[in-house]
Amino acid sequence: MGGQVSRGARRAQLVSRQREAAAAVEALRRAGEQNVLDRVLAAQNVRDAGNVRAREVAEADLVGVAKAIAESQPATSLELWRRVEGDDARYAEGTCLAALGRVEEAKAAWRKLPSHAHALYNLGIASEDDREGLELLVRAAKLGCKPALKVAGDYFAAGRGCGGQSFENDSKASRLFSVAAELGDPEAAFQVGSFACAGKGGPVDWDRGFEMHYVAAAAGLAKAKHNLGTHYFAGKGAPQDLAKAASCFREAAEAARVWNGGPARSR
């Protein structure tokens, strides 16, 4: 690639100057058939030409390439995001900076996005101050960041940034876990079940505990499978069934074995 512009890319440049949208887009496609950098160069030239249709296509192309190479080529992705407008692009810039080890620059980029849920989430988990971190996580959760629900719940459950462990904080944690569980987070579902069985943040509710441990176990969570076995073994939240209990315990052990890299090899 070497940064050289191929014939396809040069053709896109010439056509874009004439503001002929259909031809510009076709030239852009041909440039992209050769390699990624040619497509990026062609897209940028089309975008700068002022042709509305070609600019829209080129912008989408830039975003697509920037996303595709974000993990493998964060430096190049960063440069591409800087050519795209909008808060999502600024957020992506911060993500690329973080991947490059430029953490403080990443934080500075995210701080400029006070209404971007995922920027607030990243700032929250990166904060060294628990109170500030929790505040940011709660804001992120309210703005629709699903991971923030579970992490904020963890903070309240541990008493981090909220004055220590208490029934009130357990109640807040339970509510956050419940919302996250409804949105499909198996770890949150496991926590809801465990809180219900222990009476944390509310009365002991074995039926609720069984229900949520079942949901988490169905998602493949080994510790939830184990807890499900405990429900069947003790007959709490579900009729006692020793065969089902044994099956759950075996599945949990197998899942844990696979997670830990398989059985130990004989010497």
Among 16-20, 148-152, 230-234, which is the least confidently predicted range? 16-20
Domain-by-domain residue ranges, the chain?
1-68
| Residue 118, number of CB atoms within 10 A of its CB | 21
Of 178, 38, 65, nearest to 29 by C-alpha is 38
Model confidence pLDDT, tens digit, residues 194-207: 999 999 999 999 99
Q: In the prediction, which pLDDT does 47 show?
A: 54
Model confidence pLDDT, tens digit, residues 69-95: 889 999 989 988 998 889 999 999 999
Dihedral sign, Cα of residue 218, residue 188, residue 98, residue 90 = positive
Contact 61, 32 (CB under 8 A): yes
Longest dimension (CA), the chain: 77
pLDDT of residue 45 exceeding 70, the answer is no
pLDDT of residue 212 exceeding 50, the answer is yes
Model confidence pLDDT, tens digit, residues 174-197: 999 999 999 999 999 999 999 999
DSSP assigned state of 86: S
Q: In the prediction, which pLDDT does 267 show?
A: 36
Q: In the prediction, which pLDDT does 164 show?
A: 96
Model confidence pLDDT, tens digit, residues 56-71: 656 666 788 788 888 9
Residue 40 confidence class, pLDDT cut points 50, 70, 90: low
| Residue 199, number of CB atoms within 10 A of its CB | 13
Distance CA 193, CA 208 (A): 6
Q: In the prediction, which pLDDT does 2 show?
A: 45
Nearby residues of 32 by Cβ (< 8 Å), 6 or more positions away: 8, 38, 39, 42, 61
